[in-house]
Chain A
């Protein structure tokens, strides 16, 4: 291996690492034949039991994903049908190691043939199981990996990953592998850089390997210039990571000290389980479509009430803005939405809710009851004219009245609207009786630019950075300030570092972003001087 060499694969866990190459595919070890089929069978049974004990011991030290993965491997090993073909082959005269390898190879091939990424990725677990048992059958020398090494091979077993001390750096470069594998999940959780799908990687390279798992490169003998570039990129990445970690824990503020509230968008109540409410300023957009896409039909009042209440309890007094169902457009719901030639311009959002008041009233009652528990606000999607808001607010008043008469506890939340149809953004003064505005930057952009957000052919046109879109956002923010109506923004622009300066300059101080963008958005806010 000579000369500079760069391999390109797919980043499976972002980061940078430099270190000595260690090959994962050590040669097969010699297996000592036991002399009789009965002895071979006994050797295999003992090896399976030994591997299970090792896995069980490892499992006690692990939590979450890693523990689940080990439990799955243990269950597979405990299932007699896994080794049954191997024991049959042993009876026919095969040696234990060969019989086990062949039996597992059949299973592995079955997973590799799957068209589903998830099931295909399980072949790595099966290889892991295969190796665990082989290691007991034919004990080899120390498989210990020097810390800080770049592990190179076709794929890596999860248990091998877990056996490495990653605290001193290091990374993984795989010829095959998958970003959906258990190892990739573990690597992301632990911040270990990992690239998959590199194609053939030399395993005998004796200089340090440079792993750029942000862009998916492996550099072998990069030369001074490329090496300097690598170090700069690695330092920049580390700095961004540190800043994001620091920023995500504290309230956001611009460089000159103006506080900015960064809230999160939630698509499903389970989204919030992994998030500490202290790291955000509440929920700026909770979608309710997740309730409506179920095979068992439309959700009843109790199901909705419980889902809303769960999120409100998590928020512990921070504001939560729930959006009434925004079905239609790219979110069809069987038994509710209608087939249309141009669904983005058709019966979606509040239009559909008002067309099907019997369904809307169920959601309204659930929201009125949930409002008792905390700081709830409710907003309507796809409002185009003031009458829609008036009608929706009247339904809230009617249902509140009915709950009051029935003696059921409720509270009337502030009612606001999404600003996503250009008619609202152009003439917000027509809506001066709403409690708040929430700018839906994704839909506003697609309607202003006449460029569908799900059509890659017009992706370049669908840009929130277009001056026309930014001017509308600024004018809504200015109107809100003048008339004392709070204005926030939810949508991808709120988490886009390139858009954040313009949004803050336009006067917005409330941004709602997907949880994964929270740290990034706070970091971008901290870089703005107003």
Chain B
């Protein structure tokens, strides 16, 4: 049962898709059997969302719109889970320091 899923999500985490979030992101991606790809623009280039080397090399700062697509088993589930992780700011509570 091959499926195709595609979604976009904006990175709201303060320092973007940095080291710790990339570890979480690729770990989660690898937990799905589907082939998952990521891009910074809807026209690509697309790269493997399970590769931390590729994900970090994207150097995606806060405000970047991530495009995700997946095919194969659990494609839909995989994309939804990754989008949710990005929306939760990678489960990292970060301080927004403002001037008093």
Contacts and interface: CB of A to CB of B under 8 A. Distances in A.
B57 A110 contact: yes
A118 B95 CA distance: 16
A82 to B, nearest CB: 5
21 contacts: A69-B19, A72-B19, A72-B22, A72-B52, A75-B23, A76-B53, A79-B52, A80-B51, A81-B48, A82-B53, A111-B59, A114-B59, A119-B18, A119-B59, A265-B100, A267-B98, A268-B96, A270-B93, A293-B96, A492-B100, A514-B97
A114 B12 CA distance: 19
Interface stretch (A10-18, A91-99, A283-291, A386-394): A283-291
Count class of interface residues, chain B? 20 to 34
Given A270-B93, A287-B98, A71 B23 contact: yes
The 7 A-B residue pairs with the shortest CB-CB distance, nearest first, are: A270-B93, A72-B19, A119-B59, A79-B53, A81-B53, A82-B53, A75-B52
Range for the number of chain A residues in contact with chain B: 35 or more
A453 interface: yes
A366 B10 CA distance: 28
Contacts of A265: 100
Interface of A: 68-69, 71-72, 75-76, 79-82, 107, 110-111, 114, 116, 118-119, 122, 125, 265, 267-271, 273, 285, 287, 289-290, 293-295, 330-331, 440, 442, 453-454, 490-492, 514
A90 to B, nearest CB: 18
B61 interface: yes
A491 B98 contact: no
Contacts of A295: 10, 12
B59 A116 contact: yes
Interface in B1-59: 10, 12, 15-16, 18-20, 22-23, 26-27, 48, 51-54, 56-57, 59
Nearest to A68: B20
A491 B100 contact: yes
Contacts of B61: 116, 119
A273 B12 contact: no
B100 A273 contact: no
